[in-house]
Amino acid sequence: MESADAIPGYLYGSHDLERSPVTEEDLAQLKQTVLFGDDDERHLRMAGEVLDDQVEAVLDVWYGFVAAHPHLVRYFAGPDGGPVDEYLTRVRTRFGQWIRDLCERDWDRAWLDYQEEIALRHTPAKKNRTDAVEAPDRIPLRYLVAFVYPITATVREFLARKGHSEAEVDAMHQAWFKAVTLSVALWSRPYAGDEW
């Protein structure tokens, strides 16, 4: 795993982070709603081990997908309309660390607080600040929700590359799907205010 120091703008566990307003009870109820149980926790850890040395390859797929769609890559564009390479690169490093954190970390207060930070960085409250870039000031909520599909579907082939049984790959993939859906539910919070 890369050291956190090497990842620009990665503030996991920092005392500078605001506390998330999401409570432990909210999280427990969200886990129930996506049917996330102990078996999923185990299989998500297993997925983390399987993905660990494939994170760059997964990111290649995701970044290829974004780059191929002008309606997505525009959120990484500067004032001249072209994508800002340094911005893309910095976000990419954090995106890779997100894969690892989602699979490996306990979903505790520090994890919840960092999900809120990630959420805010998609909205006018914090987008662009971490990377000192002049790009559009928000990622529309509809794309956060829509990304549940590609972020889930594209990972299966990587989960299948380390010789696990079909049943184990399926179990890892379902745990991943649940975890991604729950993450997006948490990231939707600042968009909805009292209606979250």
Chain residues that interact with a second copy, rule: CB under 8 A:
26, 29-30, 32-35, 69, 71-72, 123-124, 138, 140-143, 145-150, 152-153, 174, 177-178, 181-182, 184-186, 188-189, 191-192, 195-196
The nearer residue to a second copy, 6 or 192, going by C-beta atoms, is: 192
The nearer residue to a second copy, 10 or 173, going by C-beta atoms, is: 173
The nearer residue to a second copy, 57 or 196, going by C-beta atoms, is: 196
* Helix ranges restricted to H, the chain: 24-33, 38-51, 55-67, 70-73, 85-104, 109-120, 141-146, 148-153, 156-159, 166-187, 189-192
User: Which residue from 85, 84, 100, 87 is spatially nearest to 4, judged by alpha carbons?
Assistant: 100
The nearer residue to a second copy, 7 or 143, going by C-beta atoms, is: 143
The nearer residue to a second copy, 7 or 72, going by C-beta atoms, is: 72
In the complex, what is the shortest distance from the CB of residue 177 to a second copy, in angstroms, rounded to a whole number?
Answer: 6
Q: Which two tokens stand for residue 157?
A: 């082939």
In the complex, what is the shortest distance from the CB of residue 50 to a second copy, in angstroms, rounded to a whole number?
Answer: 21
Buried b or exposed e, range 156-181, using 16+ CB within 10 angstroms: eebbbeeebeeebbebbbbbbbbbbb
In the complex, what is the shortest distance from the CB of residue 68 to a second copy, in angstroms, rounded to a whole number?
Answer: 9
In the complex, what is the shortest distance from the CB of residue 38 to a second copy, in angstroms, rounded to a whole number?
Answer: 17
Contact 117, 194 (CB under 8 A): no
CA atoms within 13 A on the CB side of 154: 17
